[in-house]
Amino acid sequence: MSANGNTKVSGQGPDHVAIIMDGNGRWATQRGRPRLFGHHAGAARVREIVAVCPDLGVKYLTVFGFSTENWKRTQSEVSGLMSLFRAYIQKETRGLVKNNVKVRFIGDRIRLDPKLVALMDDLETATDHCDGTNLTVALNYGGRDEVARATKRLAKDVAIGELDPESIDEETLPRYLDTYVLPDPDLVIRTSGEARVSNFLLWQSAYAEYEFVDTLWPDFSAAEFTLLTQGFQLRKRNYGAVAE
């Protein structure tokens, strides 16, 4: 059984893949270009990966776009990323609707520019009817921050009598997370050769399989993504039990 009660049949591909898209800056630096050049190349790569999800049976794709820790970067890089997010939404909306991709954003929107938040809201509304690939983009997202915000919402429900504290168990908190409408990820991929989870989907990935690959994100191809999803089928997931 999985953390959310679902059984993963051996030989089945992942329903939900989450990706830590790392290496844009290094990719650009290797080419003598500014870091934002790498971020633009990385944004184009997202489109290619989303496009192959239906053929691979991947129903849910979650990508890590901007973390709560990324505000520590230079002001010029942060401003450039925010401009890139706005431009990406404006450019990709029509294609996402055409390709039946449902888009959601997770993360704390309070610190984001209101113009960007309005575009995010518009994109979610425009794709709400889509029932193909579910693309979730994490912006100003951190796993610890998400759990803290969820706990605050849970505590408020306890305070007003909507929730009995004695009834709280590990199935309760997920209903307050940003990802409450999503299944837990089956496979988490991190590019660029770094082997750490970087505060991404901490609660949701408790039973996920991980793949750490050396490829920098702008070079991460649909072919490599396909191989990783196929390799997932060979893994045995026992969720703490002993395989028969």
Of 66, 60, 6, 103, which Cα lies nearest the Cα of 229? 60
Is the torsion defined by CA of 60, 114, 150, 200 positive or negative?
Answer: positive
Determine which helix (DSSP H) or strand (DSSP E) holds 29, and give its type and residue range.
helix 24-30
Q: What mean pLDDT is predicted for residues 113-138?
A: 98
Q: How many residues does the chain have?
A: 244
For 144-187, the pLDDT digits (tens) are 999 999 999 999 999 999 999 999 999 999 999 999 999 999 99
Catalytic residue among 4, 6, 15, 22: 22
Percent of the chain with pLDDT over 70: 93
Catalytic residue among 4, 24, 70, 157: 70
CA 113 to chain centre: 20
Q: What mean pLDDT is predicted for residues 88-93?
A: 96
Per-residue pLDDT at 120 exceeds 70: yes
Q: Is 55 a catalytic residue?
A: no
Prediction pTM value: 0.92
pLDDT confidence of residue 3:
43
pLDDT confidence of residue 11:
65
Of 177, 115, 191, 97, which Cα lies nearest the Cα of 145? 177
Domains in the chain, please, with CATH? 16-142+184-231 (3.40.1180.10)
pLDDT confidence of residue 9:
47
pLDDT grade, residue 4 (50/70/90)?
very low
pLDDT grade, residue 234 (50/70/90)?
confident
Roughly what angle, to the nearest 10 degrees, separates helices 75-98 and 114-126? 20
* Residue keyed to tokens 């309070």: 110
Per-residue pLDDT at 195 exceeds 80: yes
Q: Is 22 a catalytic residue?
A: yes
Provide the mean pLDDT of the chain.
93
pLDDT confidence of residue 236:
76
How many C-alpha atoms does 22 have within 13 Å on its Cβ side?
20
From residue 155, alpha-carbon distances to 166, 224, 241 in Å are 13, 43, 33
pLDDT grade, residue 237 (50/70/90)?
confident
Per-residue pLDDT at 8 exceeds 90: no
For 18-72, the pLDDT digits (tens) are 999 999 999 999 999 999 999 999 999 999 999 999 999 999 999 999 999 999 9
pLDDT confidence of residue 186:
97
Q: What amino acid is encoded at 111 in this protein?
A: R
